[in-house]
Amino acid sequence: MSRVPTNGRVALALIAIGFIAAPLSCSSRSSTEGAGLSLAMGDVVLNYGAIVEASYDDTVTTAEALESAIEAFLANPTSSTFAAAKQAWLAAREPYGQTEAFRFYRGPIDDPKDGLEGLINGWPLDESYIDYVVDPISGDTVQSGVINDPQQPITKEALQSLNEKQAESSISTGYHAIEFLLWGQDRNQTPSERGGKRPLSDYVRDGDDSDDDPVARRRLYLQLASELLVEHLRTVQAQWKSTPGSYRAGFEGDDVKLSLARIIIGVGSLAASELSGERMKVSLETRDQEDEHSCFSDNTHRDVFNNAKGIINVYRGSYTRFDGTVVGNGKGLAYLVALANPTRKAAMDQEIATIETGIQAISDRAENGEPYDQQIKDDTARADIQAVIEALERFADLLARSAADDLGLTLNFIGPDGEPI
């Protein structure tokens, strides 16, 4: 789903950059000093680490299940195993979507030197970079991409090196590359049609065992992409274990206000720009299905739901695992804000309630036959989406500006020009 940035989109991208903190610093304010609040901050940091660990554990487990489902499909490509692989992809997105709240402060997943986020969840994706596409005007099939270029080796190393090689949308690995390989282009324009309709024949061998055969290359690509996803997620998962030398060990042992600032920047960035902006506002403004997050599978409603749920998890200090187990003792950001400024906490709770109501409405509409790419064209649904966007923005402002001040934190965000903002 390639897209050419407009001025509005560039502005949103700059906002997102502005919420990446590097370096971070914080200063104390005497009005909020006190042993009780300091101890509470430490409790919140420790509880956050437990939530992050559990979230990535679930993410790896569901990604491993996806890899197994893809292996079963490739071993026996039938309509049943094909559907099972797609369902496994949808299930894998549920916990991962909630981990997006742990980004934007140069942690293990998006460290500027060796962060793996771009290889895991790179988006938007130019599908013609990977495989054949149907020209939207002529309706002709264009044999394009890595899969249809026999001169391009398909190995794990090659797929990783190709990621974002030509442009930001030149995505070759991660969830959305796998999504496209499973569903194909979503060319549907009516609510009755859901997701892409990639034919099973794309994966059924016809006796041609040559390395140039597109079916053989597509099968290999899908296999390696699923293996890479698991490997990359395991790398991030390991850094959030309580082991000597892990990122989590340093995070929990660092100055408590510095770690708390990272938590706030992660949640604030997702709410203020990435989710409300790139993932919701852009598609709302363009009304174009090419601008939705998971456009091949029509799963964008769950992306929105789970991204927002990740914000809520950190705010409330708990996470419900996919087996129903609850992790976290409730000592989240809301717990801290309540200690420092109960009135502020009440205002933030109100925005969270608006967000919860809105994302549930978006998800329910999609499950009842109106996918997200149709909701952005429907006036009633658009109003609900806009309400969520505005509540996310207000929540982020309350958190990163007012609540941070209540807690005695000064957050130094770095703007696109490299200067603090």
Q: CB–CB of 264/409 below 8 Å?
A: yes
Res. 32: pLDDT tops 90: no
Burial class (CB in 10 A: 0-12, 13-18, 19+), 255: exposed
Name the nearest CA neighbour of 387 among 354, 356, 349, 362: 354
304 Cβ neighbours under 8 A, 6+ residues apart: 275, 279, 280, 293, 359, 362, 363, 372, 388
Q: What is the dihedral of CA 186, 1, 371, 121, to 10 degrees?
A: 120
What the chain holds in terms of domains, given with CATH numbers, is: 7-18+31-406 (1.20.1420.20)
Instruction: For residue 414, report the phi and psi dihedrals to the nearest 5 degrees.
Output: -105, 125
Q: pTM for the full model?
A: 0.91
Residues forming a β-bridge with 164? none
Residue 360's CB is within 10 A of a number of other CB atoms, namely 13
Structural tokens at position 177:
């590359």
What is the average pLDDT across 42-64?
98
Res. 159: pLDDT tops 50: yes
Q: What is the pLDDT of residues 258-280, one digit of tens each?
A: 999 999 999 999 999 999 999 99
Res. 367: pLDDT tops 60: yes
Q: Tokens 């395991």 appear where? A: 234
Name the nearest CA neighbour of 229 among 329, 137, 150, 117: 117
Question: Hey, is 141 helix, strand or coil?
Answer: strand
Residue 153's CB is within 10 A of a number of other CB atoms, namely 12
Per-residue pLDDT at 192? 57
